[in-house]
């Protein structure tokens, strides 16, 4: 079986998280023919966790981790940095009423946070790790209703939370934009690019990381061969951790079931002391919107503010300069509405990144072909879901049993999508409609 990577990772704008870090040491790229016991494709959260866990469980195995760009340059370093423990649906905050299912998702997400906390602590990874939970902010009636539903769901699950009124929201965020809010304590906030770069720099010795090494073709067989511009990598076992880019692999049944969707972030310059005084509020906080199509906002300790909103369907897994400019204007509008006390603060960086979703929130976790394992499709929650998928796929492939692995194996598989052009029409019109409905939450 031959898999061709038609869509390779692109440079989708200037990611502020990545560009404000120091330049990394030069990469090691794949050259010539290399043999390994395992190859992991993609060094995002899932790939980094899979390679690390394989190495922990098999300290004598040779593990190759292959990344098209630099570690931290892809979506794993482009996100808003919320390691979310609670079930989180891109389309709804309504809980399913399936309490067992929700509790299992929470266990998976907390399993990821626990694993990551231990790695970050052990290696002293400097990624602004903050166990401060997250705020949800509502602006309009429908946002407020969504938070009420969310609160009822949390009560039913026995999960702690605190409801905030407009005054309390302003005391945290500095703005009177939010009518009401909810604080849930379990999420961890990180600097995403610093986290993944730190993970890449502290891999066990038996992991060989090849960066700037786009894989163009994969020959799946007894010995899988990954073909790059300057080399070939052969290994009997392959872990797919290329997330949205796996949607092109029809032969493995992924095409037509998982979807690449983009979302976008922007980062301001650090606010100066006068601007910080005008803003007020706490030094560091993270807020996700009551309406899932709304705007995520983070204030960083270095005085920058991060804005995230807009979803687009990008089957070619790349975006355009025109789209990024439209997004920048939309982000500036969202920023100005929230922070009228900060006139003239411009967004220094704007970027896009690929999520991978399935229509039913299902995951193709498991063995897709002999010796080909999948840890892709995090349904927008890659910091926790990517981490736990990567860790558990290593355990699954090595026959290590656990309760978390049982939970992961019981997650639904992705359902089939309608064929193009109906799929594209449907996804684009649904996103546009939901974005319009989000109103001022955007």
Ligand X SMILES: Cc1cc2nc3c(=O)[nH]c(=O)nc-3n(C[C@H](O)[C@H](O)[C@H](O)COP(=O)(O)OP(=O)(O)OC[C@H]3O[C@@H](n4cnc5c(N)ncnc54)[C@H](O)[C@@H]3O)c2cc1C
Q: Which residues bind ligand X (CB under 6 A)?
A: 5, 8-9, 41-47, 66-69, 74-76, 78-82, 84, 214-215, 241-245, 263-265, 308, 353-355, 378, 380-384, 386
**Dihedral sign, CA of 129, 135, 137, 143?**
positive
Structure tokens that stand for 235 in this block: 């290994």
Residue 260, classed as helix, strand or coil, is strand
Nearer to ligand X by C-beta: 10 or 149?
A: 10
Q: Which residue has the tokens 């020959």?
A: 219
Least distance from C-beta 375 to ligand X, angstroms? 7
Least distance from C-beta 227 to ligand X, angstroms? 10
Nearer to ligand X by C-beta: 40 or 147?
A: 40
Give the H/E segment covering residue 410.
helix 403-410
Q: Which residue has the tokens 């979506």?
A: 75
Least distance from C-beta 274 to ligand X, angstroms? 29
Nearer to ligand X by C-beta: 207 or 215?
A: 215
Least distance from C-beta 12 to ligand X, angstroms? 9
Pairwise CA distance, residues 372 & 53, whole Å: 17
- Closest by CA to 113, choosing from 70, 157, 81, 143, is 81
Nearer to ligand X by C-beta: 79 or 180?
A: 79
Is 226 in contact with 41 (CB distance < 8 Å)? yes
Nearer to ligand X by C-beta: 80 or 180?
A: 80
Question: To 5 degrees, how large is the angle CA 402–CA 405–CA 408?
Answer: 155
In this structure, the strands spanning 296-299 and 207-210 are: unpaired
Nearer to ligand X by C-beta: 179 or 183?
A: 183
Pairwise CA distance, residues 85 & 68, whole Å: 29
Least distance from C-beta 277 to ligand X, angstroms? 28
Least distance from C-beta 347 to ligand X, angstroms? 13
Pairwise CA distance, residues 315 & 333, whole Å: 27
Calculate the CA 279 to chain-centre distance: 29
Nearer to ligand X by C-beta: 8 or 154?
A: 8
Least distance from C-beta 216 to ligand X, angstroms? 7
Least distance from C-beta 249 to ligand X, angstroms? 10
Q: Left if phi > 0, otherwise alpha if psi is -120 to 50, otherwise beta: which for 312? A: beta
3-state secondary structure labels for all residues of 285-313: EEEEECCCCCCEEEECCCCCEEEEEEEEE
Nearer to ligand X by C-beta: 264 or 365?
A: 264
């Amino acid at each position: 079986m031959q898999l061709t990577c038609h869509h390779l990772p692109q440079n989708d704008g200037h990611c502020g998280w990545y560009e404000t870090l120091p330049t990394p040491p030069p990469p090691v790229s794949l050259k010539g023919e290399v043999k390994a016991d395992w190859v992991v494709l993609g060094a995002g959260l899932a790939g980094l966790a899979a390679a690390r866990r394989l190495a922990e469980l098999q300290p004598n195995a040779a593990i190759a981790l292959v990344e098209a760009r630099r570690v931290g340059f892809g979506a794993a370093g482009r996100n808003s940095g919320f390691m979310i423990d609670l079930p989180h649906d891109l389309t709804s905050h309504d809980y399913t009423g399936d309490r067992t299912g929700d509790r299992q998702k929470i266990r998976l997400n907390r399993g990821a946070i626990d694993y990551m906390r231990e790695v970050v602590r052990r290696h002293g990874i400097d990624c602004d790790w903050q166990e401060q939970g997250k705020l949800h902010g509502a602006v309009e009636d429908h946002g407020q209703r969504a938070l009420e539903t969310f609160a009822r769901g949390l009560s039913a699950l026995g999960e702690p939370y605190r409801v905030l009124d407009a005054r309390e929201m302003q005391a945290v965020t500095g703005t009177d934009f939010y009518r009401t809010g909810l604080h849930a304590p379990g999420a961890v906030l990180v600097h995403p690019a610093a986290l993944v770069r730190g993970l890449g720099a502290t891999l066990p010795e038996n992991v060989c990381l090849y960066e700037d090494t786009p894989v163009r073709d994969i020959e799946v067989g007894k010995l899988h061969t990954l073909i790059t511009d300057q080399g070939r990598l052969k290994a009997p076992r392959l872990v797919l951790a290329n997330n949205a880019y796996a949607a092109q692999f029809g032969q493995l049944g992924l095409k037509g079931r998982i979807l690449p969707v983009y979302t976008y972030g922007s980062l301001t310059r650090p606010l100066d002391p006068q601007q910080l005084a005008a803003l007020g509020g706490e030094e560091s906080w993270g807020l996700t919107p009551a309406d899932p199509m709304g705007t995520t906002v983070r204030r960083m300790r270095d005085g920058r503010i991060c804005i995230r909103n807009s979803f687009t369907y990008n089957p070619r897994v790349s975006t355009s300069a025109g789209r990024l400019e439209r997004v920048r204007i939309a982000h500036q509008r969202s920023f100005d509405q929230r922070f009228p006390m900060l006139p003239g603060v411009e967004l220094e960086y704007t970027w896009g990144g690929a999520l991978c979703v399935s229509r039913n929130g299902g995951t193709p976790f498991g063995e897709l072909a002999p010796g080909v394992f999948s840890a892709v499709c995090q349904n927008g929650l890659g910091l926790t879901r990517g981490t736990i998928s990567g860790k558990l796929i290593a355990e699954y492939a090595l026959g290590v049993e656990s309760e978390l692995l049982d939970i992961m194996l019981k997650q639904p598989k992705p359902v089939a999508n309608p064929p193009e052009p109906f799929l594209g029409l449907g996804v684009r019109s649904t996103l546009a409609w939901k974005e319009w409905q989000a109103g001022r939450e955007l």
